[in-house]
Every structure is written in C-alpha cells, then in structure tokens.
Amino acid sequence: MRTAIYPGSFDPLTNGHLDVVQRAAKLFDRVVVAVARNEDKHPLFSLAERLELVKKSIGHLPNVEADSFEGLLVNYVVRQKAQSIVRGLRAVSDFEFEFQLALMNRKLNENVETIFMMPKDTYTFLSSRIVKEIARLGGDVAVFVPEHVQTALHAKFAPGTPL
C-alpha cells in the first residue's frame, strides 16, 4: 500500500490544490490531504472549517481522505504509515522554500520522500492568499475554487447578503 500525505494550510482549498490531489491519487494507492493547524499563520478559516471544505471537495475520489495534524510533519507521515509527502510547485518562486523544506524533512527522516507535482498551467497563478484577497474585495472567485468554498468565502466576507 503506497500512501502519500499532501500537507498544507488549505486556507481555503483551491482548484489548484484539487488538481494536485487528483494527480497524486493516480500515482498512489492512498492519499491523505493533511490540513495543518498552523495557528501562527492566523488562518481565515478555523481548522475544523478548513478540514470540512477539503472533505467536501474530495468526495468523488475513492482513494483520497482528509485529516488534520499538528506538530512535525515527518512524525505524522510515520503515524499514517505513509512513505511520501506530496507538495505542489507552481513557479520558480515556490522552489526555494519547498527545496529547503524537503531537505529538512529528509534530514529528520531519510525514509520519507518528497514528490513535487506541477498543476495544470491555468492554476499556476492561483493561491489561497490571492483567492481570499479577491473575495474580500467582492470579486468573483467561481473559477478558482469549488462552489462550497465560494459559499464559505462569501459567508466570511459578506455575511447576511444573498449569494
């Protein structure tokens, strides 16, 4: 059983994340989308909300599940009996941080491999941060996130107004 962990803040999940999940699901027997608590990043959505949005987005993928974690990622990977970490690479700007993270995780546990996946080119400009900024300013994020994520963003930024 080859299991991969796809960790991230997912604040909130976007179509770019989903693209990576779908690609990973073809390569591994089991993929766990692992929502990091990351309170120090002051997420817009609570951990429970982020997890729920991920769960609703992966229902159509039988070998994908969602979970949350805190603490060291490599320890979580071992607890899940996984062998790999999946991360998305959008552009060269992601590379330096991701390279550092991957090598540090290898130092902490040399049995865990990090795999990088490139999303469809139309998602390379997409980030949770940009989606939140557009939604906060009242812009349309329908093409960037699943419908229920759009509804959740709307509820955060314009509570009480009809969708």
Q: Does 126 bind ligand ADP (CB under 6 A)?
A: yes
Q: Does 43 bind ligand ADP (CB under 6 A)?
A: no
Q: Give min distance, CB of 146 to ligand ADP, in A.
A: 13
- Interacting stretch for ligand ADP, rule CB under 6 A, among 102-110, 119-127, 134-142, 147-155? 119-127
- Interacting stretch for ligand ADP, rule CB under 6 A, among 23-31, 56-64, 72-80, 86-94? 86-94
Contacts of 67 (CB under 8 A, 6+ apart): 32, 33, 34, 35, 51, 80
How far is residue 126 CA from its own chain's centroid?
A: 12
Q: Give min distance, CB of 131 to ligand ADP, in A.
A: 9
- How many other CB atoms are there within 10 angstroms of residue 4's CB atom? 26
Candidates 4, 5, 18, 20; binder of ligand ADP (CB under 6 A) is 20
Please, what is the end-to-end C-alpha distance for the chain in angstroms?
43
Neighbour order of strands in the sheet with 84-88:
64-69, 30-36, 3-8, 84-88, 113-117
Interface positions with ligand ADP (CB under 6 A)? 8-10, 14, 16-17, 20, 87-88, 90, 94, 119, 123, 126-128
